[in-house]
Amino acid sequence: MRELRTFELEEPDQPVTWRARHGHSVTALEGRLWLTVEGHLADIWLRPGDVMTLPEGTRVWLSGDAPGSRFLLTESPAPWSLRRAVFITRQFARRWGEHKTAAFGDCPRISA
């Protein structure tokens, strides 16, 4: 399942910013969009119908060249394998912290 959100920019040259998550892409619907992506050397111009897939974790700045510029932000969820790996890693880290002791054996953790 994908999440689709449509946004309309009220004023030209007033950028909006966010940090891209896994599976984010921008599709220009109306007007030209000016897209700046952290780590890219050049800015990107999107015309209606153009799509840009955003690298995960990068900061994005987007503005339109005319009032009423619209864009579609699509978010595809992370694959199950990635979600499962994150879940297992978090569970392991939490359990490791609970059972970690300075001595050998199963000693209860004492906090001072």
Domains in the chain, start-ordered, CATH in brackets? 3-75 (2.60.120.10)
What pTM, to 2 d.p., does this model score?
0.64
Q: What digits encode the pLDDT tens for the residues 80-100?
A: 666 677 777 887 777 766 555
Q: What's the rounded Cα separation, in Å, for the pair 54 and 103?
A: 48
Q: What's the rounded Cα separation, in Å, for the pair 100 and 11?
A: 55
Quick check: 45 and 35 in contact, CB under 8 A?
yes
Average per-residue pLDDT for the chain: 81
Given a cut of 70, is residue 101 above it in pLDDT?
no
